[in-house]
Amino acid sequence: MPSSTSSSEALDAGSAGLLRTPPGEASGASAGTDRYARQTAADRPGVAQPVPVRPVPEQPWGKILIGMLALLLLLVALWEWYWRDFGVTPSISNTYGLWAIQRRRIDAGEGNATVLLGASRLYFDVQLPVWERLDGRRPIQLSFEGTSPLTAVEDLAADPNFTGRLLISVEPDLFFSGFEYRGGAGRYARNESPSQRIGQWLSMNFIEPYFAFDDPDYALRTVLARQRWPARPGKVWHTDVRKLAQTEADRNTHLWSKVADDPQYRELARGIWREGFQPSEDDPPPAVARRVEQEQIDRMAKAVAKLRTRGVQVLFVRMPSSGPFLAYENLMYPRTRSWKALLAATGAPGIHFEDYPQLQGYYLPEWSHMPLAEGERFTAALYAIVMREFWGPPAAAGTAPRAGTP
C-alpha cells in the first residue's frame, strides 16, 4: 500500500475546522449518534475506497409501498376524472418523435408522396382521411403549429429521397416572420436515438390513447403558471396558447370540439389571439421585420428551386382566416407585399382562399381554424382545386408524379 496520506491533504487543503463544524453540531453525517451515518470518499483521501455502505432505514416498507401505490392510484384517477370532466379526451401527443415517424416515411419508400407542410391551419383543417379517399393515398402531414414551414421545406429540399408533391401553407404572421415555435423537429428526427424511438412507441401505444391528462396543456407547471398571478409591471405579458386540437397516430389532426362548442373556451382562444394583435416590445423594428420577410422569401425561393430540379411539384396555399385575425394579417402582411411577392420569387403557383368561393364561408370559431366537419368539407374542396388546376389526376400508387410544375 502507498504511504497513507494524512487527512489534511484533502482537496479542501486542511481539515482543521475553522468553518467545518458549527457550534453544537456533530461534524457532518459521519459522526454523532446517527446510526445511519457514514463516511464518503471526501473523508478518505489518498486511499483505496472501500465498498460503500447503503443502509435501509427501518420502516414497514411493504405497507408503505402498498399505501403509496394506493395513494398514487387515487390521485391519478382524480386527476384524470378532473380533466375528463373539463371535456378532454385522450389524444396522441404531437411530439417531435411523432413527427419523426412521418418524416421517416419519405426515406422508407414513400418519397413520391404528397407532403403537407405548414402551420396549424394546414395541420388542423386538412383531413387526411378525406384526402386519402379522394386521392387513393394518404398524404404525409409534416406541419407544426406555430411554426414557419421554411426550415422543414429546406430539409426536404436537401433530401434526394423526396420526389413527391409538396403543399405549403402560408400563414402570414408565422411564414413571413420566420417564427418557429416547434423548430427543432428536423434536427430531432436526424438525431433521434433508439431509446427515444422506443419511448415514442411505448407512449403512443400504452399511455397517450388512455389518459386524457397526458397533454402539455395539463402539465403541472403549465396549470400552475396560468393561474391568476399578479402581472409584473413594465411589460405586456401574453397568455400561452391553450389546447386547440386532437391528434391521431399519423398526425391527422382536427380542432378540438370544445373550441367550437364551449362559448367560454372559444372566447378564451379568441382573447389569446387578440393579445397577439397588439403591438409588443418584443416586436422587431419595422425595418428589421421587412428584412426578415424578404429573407424568408429568398430562402424559400432557393429551396423551391432545388425541389423543382428534382421534379417536385410545389404548391402554396393561403388557408382561410376570418374576423380580427384576417384583418390583422392583412394589415401586417398585405397580400401584394407578402403572398404575391412569394409566388413571384419562387415561381410556384398558389391557392389563396379569397380567390375561390369554394374555400370561403367556413365556420372558424376562433377566426383561424375550422371544426372537424368543416375541415372535411374544406379538404374535399381544396383537393378538387389542387387536382383540377395544378396537379392533375392522382398518380397511381407507387409511381412517380409528373415532373415539372404548371
Binding another protein (rule: CB under 8 A), the pick from 89, 190, 225, 363 is: 225
Query: Could you say which residues in the range 6-25 bind another protein, by CB under 8 A?
Result: 8-16, 18-20, 22-25
CA atoms of 203 and 93, how far apart (whole Å): 9
Q: Of 240 and 389, which CB lies nearer to another protein in the complex structure?
A: 240
Binding another protein (rule: CB under 8 A), the pick from 144, 162, 176, 213 is: 213
Q: Does 46 interact with another protein (rule: CB under 8 A)?
A: yes
Pairing of strands 253-255, 245-247: antiparallel
At position 102, the amino acid (one-letter code) is: Q
At position 381, the amino acid (one-letter code) is: A
CA atoms of 332 and 27, how far apart (whole Å): 67
Binding another protein (rule: CB under 8 A), the pick from 129, 181, 198, 271 is: 198
Q: Does 77 interact with another protein (rule: CB under 8 A)?
A: no
Bridge partners for 167 per DSSP: 116, 315
Q: Of 225 and 403, which CB lies nearer to another protein in the complex structure?
A: 225
CB of 231 to another protein, least distance (A): 7
Candidates 2-10, 114-122, 129-137, 256-264: pick the segment binding another protein (CB under 8 A): 2-10
CB of 192 to another protein, least distance (A): 11
Residue count at the site for another protein (CB under 8 A)?
A: 95
CA atoms of 46 and 6, how far apart (whole Å): 8
Q: Does 214 interact with another protein (rule: CB under 8 A)?
A: yes
Q: Does 196 interact with another protein (rule: CB under 8 A)?
A: yes
Q: Does 1 interact with another protein (rule: CB under 8 A)?
A: yes
Binding another protein (rule: CB under 8 A), the pick from 107, 136, 181, 219 is: 219
Q: Of 231 and 396, which CB lies nearer to another protein in the complex structure?
A: 231
Check if the beta carbon of residue 380 is closer than 8 Å to that of residue 391.
no
Q: Does 143 interact with another protein (rule: CB under 8 A)?
A: no
Binding another protein (rule: CB under 8 A), the pick from 85, 108, 160, 281 is: 281
The owner of cell 426578415 is 292
Q: Does 71 interact with another protein (rule: CB under 8 A)?
A: yes
Residues 6+ positions from 224 with CB-CB distance below 8 Å: none
Binding another protein (rule: CB under 8 A), the pick from 54, 285, 331, 396 is: 54
CA atoms of 134 and 136, how far apart (whole Å): 6
Check if the beta carbon of residue 178 is closer than 8 Å to that of residue 292.
yes
Q: Of 203 and 330, which CB lies nearer to another protein in the complex structure?
A: 203
Pseudo-torsion of CA 389, 395, 400, 402, nearest 10°? -30
R_g of the chain computed on alpha carbons: 29
Count of C-beta atoms within a 10 Å radius of residue 147:
25
CB of 44 to another protein, least distance (A): 8
Q: Of 196 and 294, which CB lies nearer to another protein in the complex structure?
A: 196
Pairing of strands 165-169, 114-117: parallel
Q: Of 35 and 286, which CB lies nearer to another protein in the complex structure?
A: 35
CA atoms of 200 and 192, how far apart (whole Å): 10
